[in-house]
Amino acid sequence: MSTINTIQGQTLYIEITIYDSAGAVMTSLNADGVFAYTNCAVVTEIEGTITSGIFYATMTAVQTAALRGDYPYEVKVKNTDNDDLAQISTGTLVVAKSMIPDYDG
């Protein structure tokens, strides 16, 4: 599990490397991916792309401005050759009002 940190109102660029079971980067993967987070009532999905073994997704400034706090997230990829689905990352998306903790009130 990992933590992704961002500030309200900032664009967040998400990059997650995809590894195979032997620990090698999966550079020849034909797949689609999605980043999903939840506030426990609603799951929001953001489509991503995969290039050279790296999953890329972007949360816009408008999307992060509407959030504050901790949100569980997961990233899944689907192999477009055989429809295998894999969860490649889980963790917590932390959206703060400020980078300076004393000013996050």
Segment 13-19 mean pLDDT:
89
CATH of the domain at 15: 2.60.40.10
| Domain around 39 | 2-99
Domain count, the chain: 1
| Residue 105 forms part of a structural domain | no
Residue 104's pLDDT band (cuts 50, 70, 90): low
Q: Considering Cα of 55, then 59, then 32, then 71, what sign does the dihedral take?
A: positive
pLDDT of residue 35: 95
Q: Which residues of 1-105 form beta strands (DSSP E)?
A: 2-7, 12-17, 31-38, 43-51, 54-59, 69-79, 85-96
Q: What is the pLDDT of residues 42-88, one digit of tens each?
A: 999 999 988 888 899 999 999 999 999 999 999 988 877 777 777 78
Mean pLDDT of 31-46: 91
Evaluate if residue 4 carries a pLDDT over 90.
yes
